[in-house]
Amino acid sequence: MISLEKVFVLGGGVTKIGEHWNKSLRDLFVEAALKAAENSNIELRDIEAVYVGNMSSGELQGQEHLGSLMATWLGIPGVAAVKVEAACASGGAVFHQAYLAVASGVYDCVLVGGVEKMTDAVVHDVTAALIMADDAEYTAFTGASFVGLNALVYRYYMEKYSVKQEDIALFSVHDHKYAANNPYAQYPFQVSLEKVLSSPLIADPIRLFECAPIGDGAAVLILCSERFAKERGIKPEVEVAASALATDTISLVDRDDLTTLAATVKAAKKAYKKAGVEPRDIDVMEVHDAFTILGVIHLEDLGFAEKGEGWRLVKEGEIEKDSKIPTNLSGGLKARGHPVGATGVYQVYEIYQQLTGTAPNQVGKAEVGLAQSVGGVGGTVVVNILRRVR
Amino acid sequence: MMGISAPSVPRVWRERIVKYRLLGSKCADCGKISYPPRRACPRCGSTNLKEISLPKRGKVLSYTVIRAPPRGYLKYSPYIIALIELENGARILAQLTDVNPDEVKSGMIVEAVFRRYREQGEDGIIEYGIKFRPPIT
């Protein structure tokens, strides 16, 4: 086994998530990238490689080749640059690839970002783009929407473990509570459980206020090696302790268990081992709750609750700030927002904020934080763990 | 928009046998039965697979009603999507038909029926496939 270089997060920048009718895909990415470079005290020309996470630019903007496009618009054509796509896990996956690029020793300073521009399109075109996360020929062909696939999991989970929808839907209330204090959240306001449960049905039993919204946004981080930091006289505050990616069958039909994401279990196991930590060592985390049911399932699959018991952590206040496992203090996918290919990078940025004491909903003690990014119905899962440098 | 709703004759033509006749594969090593047929088993990675014809009856494992469909499916909304376990354990995703959403229950028995799925707009062809309904045969 080759030895890996240490990888540090120097800083980051994000755009507010929302309906940015006046900003294009490239505008959003450049805005976040310029903020990230400034916050990291580097020049854009220090960057050796650019990694762009995105799911649907081809489908929604008619634009591919984002590596070259963004390098051009950042004024650094000539650098290595590629787009990384893994459906809704594109953000987590692009961070994984950028981490490997520095850990391998090939690059000393890289820019990693995610961007999604969803509000150019009408809603049924976005729905068509999102179902591309699953098997086009045998899943999308049936007319299933991505919400619908998660609804199959939701109903099965409720019936298998005899859990009520009102207990699962609480995850949405939780997210909104913290988004209310997050300046870049798409929906910075609180909602009641009654409001969630009386919102329109999208795919039974999933209601509108249980779904991550459609929005535009970009998040960018600057990663560097120990060598780069030393040469610049920089003392990095945050290190990447582990980055692990795992896959599962792309469709639910091939799974033996519908209520667990095997890729989460696999990626988390690898990441915990590499970082030398256990779930109880995690001080703060961001999980990929594209739907309320997923938030509950992730708490179980990441090792914080037994199967069928994840909802209890939410109901009993165990995922609140300064409790057992503070989760989604950004507002999560539901309320911070979910500009698909950017979300995984927002999550890592949020953990970086927590570890440097700059988060909108700052926890008291944060040494180790975890970000989980999910593609499709768990076809890809990335678990990234950051640690404060001592 | 491209993707599954784009007009394409060859894409539909090459799937006709698997989709119309409900073909699958059985892994000789771990016994997993898959729809559609594979070259490698999604459970154990074996390439020792045999193509088989799948049973036409099964039960509903879970279901949903699509009320916000993707482009290409708007005029059929709302429709029911179910995850079905066939009698030999193979699982398939399909629409339910000839039944109201409020009559569907997890565990209900259903049978395969050949039906129209969608039309590829004015320029394309009509796509058919297997849906499931409460048994009448």
Give contacts of B82 with chain A, Cβ < 8 Å. Answer: 152
Confidence label for A390 from pLDDT (cuts 50, 70 and 90)? confident
Chain A, residues 147-206, CB within 8 A of chain B, namely 147-148, 151-153, 155-156, 159, 200-206
Chain B residue with minimum CA distance to A130:
B70
Give residue-wise pLDDT tens across range A252-274: 999 999 999 999 999 999 999 99
Mean pLDDT of B18-35: 97
Q: Which residues pair with A83 in a beta bridge?
A: A52
pLDDT of residue A1: 63
Give residue-wise pLDDT tens across range A189-233: 999 999 999 999 999 999 999 999 999 999 999 999 999 999 999
pLDDT of residue A360: 97
The rounded distance, in Å, linking the Cα atoms of A115 and A70 is 11
Residue A248 DSSP SS3 = coil
Give residue-wise pLDDT tens across range B114-125: 999 999 888 889
User: Which of B4, B34, B63 is facing A141, going by the closest CB pair?
Assistant: B4
Q: Do A128 and B1 touch (CB under 8 A)?
A: yes
Give contacts of B79 with chain A, Cβ < 8 Å. Answer: 143
Give contacts of B54 with chain A, Cβ < 8 Å. Answer: none
The mean of the pLDDT values for chain A is: 98
Kind and range of the H or E run holding A387: strand A380-388
Q: Does the pLDDT value for residue B1 go beyond 60? A: no
Phi, psi of A225 (to 5 degrees): -90, 170
The rounded distance, in Å, linking the Cα atoms of A132 and A55 is 9
Tell me which residue of A380, A258, A151, A134 sits closest to B91, measured CA to CA: A258
Q: How many CB atoms lie within 10 A of CB A21?
A: 8
Q: Which two tokens stand for residue A135?
A: 């098997």
Give residue-wise pLDDT tens across range B45-68: 999 999 999 999 999 999 999 999
The rounded distance, in Å, linking the Cα atoms of B3 and A266 is 31
Q: How many CB atoms lie within 10 A of CB A335?
A: 31
Q: What percent of chain B has pLDDT over 90?
A: 89
pLDDT of residue B137: 73
Would you list which residues of chain B are within 8 Å, Cβ to Cβ, of chain A? 1-5, 11, 15, 34-36, 42-43, 61-74, 76, 79, 81-83, 91-95, 101, 106, 117-118, 127, 129
Q: Do A136 and B3 touch (CB under 8 A)?
A: yes
Cα-based angle A144, B37, B48 (whole degrees, multiple of 5):
145
Mean pLDDT of A239-248: 98
Interface check A139 vs B, CB under 8 A: yes
The rounded distance, in Å, linking the Cα atoms of A302 and A312 is 15
B18-49 as b/e: b if 16+ CB within 10 A: bbeebebbbbeeeebbbbbbbeebbbeeeeeb
Q: Does the pLDDT value for residue B2 go beyond 80? A: no
Q: What percent of chain A has pLDDT over 90?
A: 99
The rounded distance, in Å, linking the Cα atoms of A8 and A229 is 9
pLDDT of residue B122: 81
The rounded distance, in Å, linking the Cα atoms of A352 and A123 is 33
| Dihedral angle sign, alpha carbons of residues A111, A235, A370, A219 | negative
List the catalytic residues of A.
88, 338
Interface check A262 vs B, CB under 8 A: no
Tell me which residue of A215, A212, A234 sits closest to A223, measured CA to CA: A234
pLDDT of residue A336: 98
List the single best residue of A138, A160, A208, A247 to mutate versus B (max B Cβ within 10 A): A138
pLDDT of residue B7: 85
Distance from CA of A190 to the nearest CA of B (A): 25
Q: What percent of chain A has pLDDT over 70?
A: 100
Give residue-wise pLDDT tens across range A112-148: 999 999 999 999 999 999 999 999 999 999 999 999 9
Give residue-wise pLDDT tens across range A314-355: 999 999 999 999 999 999 999 999 999 999 999 999 999 999
Distance from CA of B129 to the nearest CA of A (A): 9
Q: Does the pLDDT value for residue A51 go beyond 80? A: yes
Distance from CA of A53 to the nearest CA of B (A): 20
Cβ contacts from A onto B, under 8 A = 127
Q: In terms of pTM, does the model score above 0.90?
A: yes
Cis peptide before A205 (omega within 30 of 0): yes
